[in-house]
Structure 1
Amino acid sequence: MSNEAQARIAETVNTNPVVLFMKGTPLFPQCGFSSRAVAILDHIGVEYASVDVLQDQGIRQGIKEYSDWPTIPQLYVKGEFVGGSDILMEMYEAGELVQLFEERGIAHKA
């Protein structure tokens, strides 16, 4: 993977308090897992940046190596990899996702 893709991923992760690497966009998710991640974040009411990995093959492969996680979507909070769709769902249902945002000082509605 290119150093350029890694640098762009690192910059995105480190300059956005919450960022979701996903297939598609929040308005038009291109897979069910990305759609579920968007629904959870929107329900909590947290502001987040999104990166459509389908628009850039370097980012699509690079994010998997960056996090050492094989699937997309991937959520980062304050530069830290949180997880994919299943982990987000488990954390949301347990109340841990809202708690994580509160601990990190991320505003939300829920």
Structure 2
Amino acid sequence: MSDVNDRIQDIVQADDVVLFMKGTPLFPQCGFSSRAVAILDHCGVAFGSVDVLQDMEIRQGIKSFSDWPTIPQLYVKGEFIGGSDIMMEMFEAGELQQLMDEKQVAKAD
């Protein structure tokens, strides 16, 4: 399991914002992943993504890594933020945009 944790750690450190999701940003494979992508797009931030459907080790490992049972999962500057419900709550309250600004997250092109 530590090999998977090392891989996940490398992934979350590679980009300012990383979304572990089902599918890709252009073709999400579930409604929750689609909503997460829409929220990040609306925030105007650049983000990396990992399609957990393509890697079963990552799909299971990310749940242990974050101690969070569902996907999608959002990481900002290496810190676990939450799933799509938490993202939506933070977005609606203006907290997600504030977090992105405070962390000086790279803007989308």
TM range (shorter): over 0.9
Equivalent position of 1:16 in the other structure: 15
Residues 49-69 of structure 1, C-alpha deviations (whole Å, 9 max, x = no match): 000000000000000000000
Q: Could you tell me how far apart the structure 1 residues matched to 2:53 and 2:13 are? A: 21
Alpha-carbon shift at residue 85 of structure 1 (Å): 0.2
1:15, 1:28 → 2: CA distance? 22
Question: Structure 1 residue 42 and structure 2 residue 41: aligned?
Answer: yes
Aligned to 2:96: 97
| 1:108 Cα deviation from its structure 2 partner | 3.7
Give the alignment's Cα RMSD to 1 decimal. 1.0
In the TM superposition, what are the counterparts of 1:2-13 in structure 2 within 5 Å? 2-13=1-12
1:6 and 1:40 mapped to 2: Cα distance?
A: 27
Q: Could you tell me whether the CA contact under 8 Å between 2:16 and 2:106 is conserved in 1?
A: no
Using structure 2 for the length normalisation, give the TM-score: 0.95
The alignment covers a number of residue pairs equal to 108
Rounded to whole Å, the distance in 1 between the matches of 2:38 and 2:14 is 23
CA distance in 2, matches of 1:100, 1:63: 22
Give the aligned partner of residue 54 of structure 2. Answer: 55
Secondary structure in 2 matching 1:29: coil
TM-score calculated relative to the size of structure 1: 0.95
